[in-house]
Amino acid sequence: MESSLKNKITVITGATRGFGYSIADEMAKAGAIVIITGRTEETLLQAIQSLSSHGQVSGCLCDVREEKQVYALARNTVEKHGRIDLWINNAGYSSAAGMVLDIPPQQAIDMFLANDMGTLYGTHAALHYMLALKQGTLVNIYGAGSNGNASSPTGLYAATKAWVTSFTRTLASEIKGSGVQLVGFSPGMMLTDMLTSPTVIGERAKERMKNFGFVLRFLGKSPQEAAQKLVQVLEKNNKDFVEYRAMKPWTPFLGLLRVGWENLTKTGKRPEFEIHFEQGYTPEI
């Protein structure tokens, strides 16, 4: 059966690796016409070459922290393809794990610029064209903290994702009935570089990371699995606004059962990871 995403002009920010790359891969397989972004020419070209084996993929250099670059991305896409059907604000990152007072403030600023201002710029860029045509879908990526709960030792990253959630819900109420669909998608814990090669700042965060390998094993999933779910949501959605969370209340329990079975049957694979430790921040007061 042909996917409803076939020939959809799809922009995915931050898609040269990790979850963004997996989204691009699954969208290309579904028949979408995919435009990915990255910050360096080398990684962008490598990703395009790899992804093109599964469909139509092109790319554009873009740093989502730079407003004009994001708008140029949208403008160039419309000039080439005539429209934007799907825009996925995926670009973002977590600089490090640590208690909020141990993380250097500049890292918080950098995360806010990428995770939040990048989402804002992308929203402006996409909706400038979508609202005029009264059609299209905008996807914002949630994450840890998007449920509003305390999220040590990734509290500052979580705060940026709480912002994305509040922003998305507010936007949904403001553009309801416009013809543009809005999706908030929380992919859960994924085995990407952000989790398999984390930086941990401060002694308290270091202590909390003692059981990180076990948590990663029973909660971590491949980014491909999360990307497949996002594609399914996009194929089936007919609502103005929908939110999807991969992490269900029963997910930890099912993860523990799976790990228990793997231990019993000597199957499964322990995720590989390497933690880098740094000293906590001390303000010059």
Residues annotated as catalytic are 157
Interior angle at CA 34, CA 29 and CA 37, nearest 5: 125
Nearest to 242 by CA among 181, 176, 191, 285: 181
DSSP string, the chain: ---TTTT-EEEESS-SSHHHHHHHHHHHHTT-EEEEEESSHHHHHHHHHHHGGGSEEEEEE--TTSHHHHHHHHHHHHHHHS--SEEEE-------EE-TTTS-HHHHHHHIIIIIIHHHHHHHHHHHHHHHHT--EEEEE--TTTTS---TTBHHHHHHHHHHHHHHHHHHHHHTTSS-EEEEEE--SB-SHHHHS-EEESHHHHHHGGGHHHHHHHH-B-HHHHHHHHHHHHHH--SSEEEEES--TTHHHHHHHHHHHHHHHT-S-PPP---EEEPPP----
Residue 188 exposure: Cα atoms within 13 Å on the Cβ side? 26
51-72 burial code (b ≥16 CB/10 A, e <16): beebbbbebbebbbbeeebbbe
